[in-house]
Amino acid sequence: MEPNHPAGTFWYHSHVHGSTAIQVSSGMAGPLIIEGERKPIVTNGQIQQNGDFDILWKNQKTQNYDHEKIMLFQQIQYNEDCDTKLTPNADSPCLYALEDYSKLDIPTSWADENRYTSINGKMLGEIKVDQNQYHRWRMIHGGIRDTIGLTIKELPNSSAFTAEQTLAECQNYQTKAMSAQFKKLKTLPLYTVAQDGLTMGKIQKQGIEIFQPGYRFDAMLAFPSINKYCVYDAKLNLEDEINAPDSSPLLRRAPEEKLNTQLLGWVNVQATQLAVQSPYDFLKVQATAIGLAPEVIQQVSQGDLSAFISHASLMTAEVDELLKNMAKQITNFDIMFNADGSFKFGIRHADEGTLISFGDAYHAEDHTHHSFVRKLLIGQTQEWELTSNVASHPFHIHVNPFQVVKILNEVGVDVSAIGSSDKDGAGNIDSQYHGMKGVWKDTLFVKQGYKIIVRSKYEKFEGDFVLHCHILDHEDQGMMETVRICGDKFDCNSEAPAHHSMDMSANDLAAHSH
């Protein structure tokens, strides 16, 4: 690994084309945490070299990350034989088997069959934390196609609850009939500090983290009471959910009980004598304790993490001028339906361009031995336009992350700034893109009818990798293409790779693992 590789929360998963969804839905995925020990270097009051956010979390005595949790959310395609009970016991065991993948590409199958998203392999598991202690949760959506709207609610008067009582009460708030009471529960603030493994320039306070497949969020959170807390997957607006829950609602054991939210796990808070403090005060104390420069201490005390970011902004006047007359890279997701009932998943490079499905023979400008390769020149900065003609798709690119410039909704309004408000077709508020402007990511949900503008600079690595839809059965059916960075040591016209075997989503580390 290169010494200047970003520290952060990444992950790996199986990537055999045609079987990716089957293998990932069987559990073939895991966290990939890159730790960093670099301190920001300040000279004459100016930051000359950025550091790693990790240094604010390490216990200097033990050299451990005492209050860090790595959480992998998975949608394992299990079949369940459990009668009416969720919790197995000696008299009525639950049997889970990975035997049937026939419904894997049916958008509503996960909801219809009442499966549960697991956290680190457990369904409805216990998470232990210390009261008033700030924790860093490194959260990874390692599922294949279901949206997660993660929100944490405090259960009132629950400090003496047993595990069984907590689960029963948390589940009591799941039904649509209880939605008004659910909304009245206290929501724990989530202070987002990184997305897709990349530290953000400014901490953002959220009540919900919207995960699409492949997304990662690092968040700071502290639990102020010794009550129990419920970790929910709140159902979102119809246009924000990949699996369209309003047209095919999640069901509980009784078919008439439609879900407003679904429990993921619960939090057991251990009492401490720690005082309540803001996340900014916590970071200020940590930065002071390890002797960081006064300028950095002042910044973190205001939620400014610019001393720890990995990439210089591409949203500058200089870059604007550079891109003024340069053609954009176009990625337009599309599905073509044929008269015989068959269909084709792919990507267009222009609104009316050829639909390119992974592995297709292609004879236009960028073909290489009859396979399409998107060629990008090493060292170049470019703007990309992401759109979708049919349905909504998470765009994911290996190796090179991108910075979000703007996200235009169906009427051309930019909804990516902090404080912006977007509404879906039914008039519901949509928080999908709130605060995304200027953020660096490698995966981003592209809603049908929206236009997303991002920028990327192709640094360090020359070679082949892929971009694809992160609904993994879409990718398996062809919504993927080969991307090549070339122009120095790598021949832009060399033969295209035959296959792609694994995704280790850690920026340039990903390239070296393929």
What are the structural domain ranges in the chain?
35-65+279-310, 67-275, 317-500
**What digits encode the pLDDT tens for the residues 83-135?**
444 454 555 556 666 677 777 777 777 766 667 889 999 999 999 999 999 99
pLDDT at 495: 81
pLDDT at 50: 94
Determine how β-strand 68-74 pairs with β-strand 135-141: parallel
pLDDT band at 373 (very low <50, low <70, confident <90, very high): confident
What is 317-500's CATH topology? Immunoglobulin-like (2.60.40)
C-alpha closest to that of 397 among 381, 388, 386: 386
Q: Residue range 26-45: average pLDDT?
A: 93
**Across 295-304, 360-369, 488-497, least confident range:** 360-369
* Token pair in block for residue 49: 């070299």
Q: Residue range 180-203: average pLDDT?
A: 96
Q: What is the CATH number of domain 67-275?
A: 2.60.40.420
pLDDT band at 292 (very low <50, low <70, confident <90, very high): very high
**Across 55-69, 264-278, 357-371, least confident range:** 357-371
**Across 106-110, 308-312, 331-335, 404-408, least confident range:** 106-110
pLDDT band at 343 (very low <50, low <70, confident <90, very high): confident
298: number of Cβ within 10 Å: 12
Query: Looking at the predicted structure, is the pLDDT value of residue 366 above 70?
Result: no
276: number of Cβ within 10 Å: 9
pLDDT at 86: 47
Q: Residue range 377-392: average pLDDT?
A: 95
- Using the 8-state DSSP alphabet, how is residue 239 labeled? G
pLDDT at 252: 31
- The span from the first CA to the last CA of the chain, in angstroms, equals 14
pLDDT at 351: 74
pLDDT band at 488 (very low <50, low <70, confident <90, very high): very high
Q: Residue range 413-437: average pLDDT?
A: 79
Say how far apart CA 502 and CA 514 lie, in whole Å: 6
Q: Higher-confidence residue: 161 or 89?
A: 161
* Token pair in block for residue 438: 């200027």
pLDDT band at 449 (very low <50, low <70, confident <90, very high): very high
Q: Residue range 432-455: average pLDDT?
A: 95
* 174 and 260 Cβ atoms separated by less than 8 Å: yes
